[in-house]
Structure 1
Amino acid sequence: MSIRQGLENTRLEAEVARRTAQLTELARHMQTVREDERARLARDLHDELGALLTSARLDAARIRARLGDTAPEALERLAHLVQTLDTVVALKRRIIEDLRPSALAHLGLPITLDILAREFGEQSGLQIHCDLMATQLVPAAELTMYRLVQEALNNVAKHAGARQVWIKLQALAGEPVHLSVRDDGCGFLPCAASSASHGLAGMRFRVEAEGGSLEIHSAPGQGTQISASLPLA
């Protein structure tokens, strides 16, 4: 190899490294923008929609008090309306938590993942097994781990046909934080293009943008395991 070729190779390697760093920074910026938008939408739902639902429920209570026992059929319909409003309030809370998990800031990653797993199990009927240790991650990294589990569970519900899911969060002293989500579903070929693999590719970029790594192990009929590793704070 000539000196000129060596210099050209060095220049190309430096250019690839520069472009890779730019793409990583762009991925981190896009995720930040997306999470900021989710947080804004969550605030709007909490403040504006919450105020409207509270006002509607108060109006229903006033009408019920004025009717007394004079209109049994109207009272029955009013009771159904109040029940519907309570259902909408519960749905609003669930949507807000999906958009911006407030439990992360107040309870930490392990407890928040346990809540997510329990609610997913109740809604899907799957058995969820959790082994979650305390961690020392920065808030952005905790949110990345939470979104990874959220994406993995959504994929299990849509595609896996699984009966059980295992979530493990491990944080040994001085070592990176490891998270894995494993199911006993139908599995897939990781190289095959699908909506699930596209979502996992997005999570890979997100994990790598936080300085971590992500691995996917799956095969038809052998379930799927997603493993992520992030450095400590």
Structure 2
Amino acid sequence: MSESAGPPLRILIVDDHTVVRAGLRALLEGEPDFHVVGETGDGTDAVRLVRGFRPDVVLMDLRLSDTGAEGGRVDGIETTRRILATSTDARVVVLTSYGSQADVLRAVEAGARGYVLKAGPPEELFRAVRAAAAGGMGLAPEAAASFVGHTAGPGPVLSEREIEVVRLLARGHSNRAIAGALFLAEATVKTHLVRIYRKLGTENRAATVGEAVRLGLIELT
């Protein structure tokens, strides 16, 4: 249970099962630092509600059954992308019955800040919500284990190219110098940095290097 005296975290629940939404609402509102501002069962409506309610955290079911107006299926991954494209404030935590490596990687790549299994203990869900709201990552143990061997470090949130960029950041390189070292356009380096900041929950170069070191993604020499 949080001891924060600040305003409660505003949470939007997105799940296409009414009973699941009711159970989640009851769990979350039992925590004094959580406040459920709304709920929905489809991805298209979720994007609209994020604009209206401006939640701090969106709990996202991975496999929604919603079909968008264009006729394509809007699952939790696509809904996450749409939410983050329209809101820089909301953090998405995926809540699902599945924990395959492919699903975890797709969710994180889409910008999710957490991945929790529905069968897990409530405390894992609460930790993930608080971690995401604070700008970090909240992964259930099963989800974190899916990353093992995928990249070089114990906190493998970044792609190999993004890790190369961070290594050069750690050496004090400018965007232009990084572009030259990696044979990239300077605009491409800026795009990588935006994604790196989002994934690590950081806002500047120094904090990014520090977080990458803490996660074991790079080593300072």
Higher normalized contact order (CA 8 Å, seq sep 6+, divided by chain length): 1
TM-score strictly above 0.5: no
What is the TM-score with the length of structure 2 in the denominator? 0.30
What is the TM-score with the length of structure 1 in the denominator? 0.29
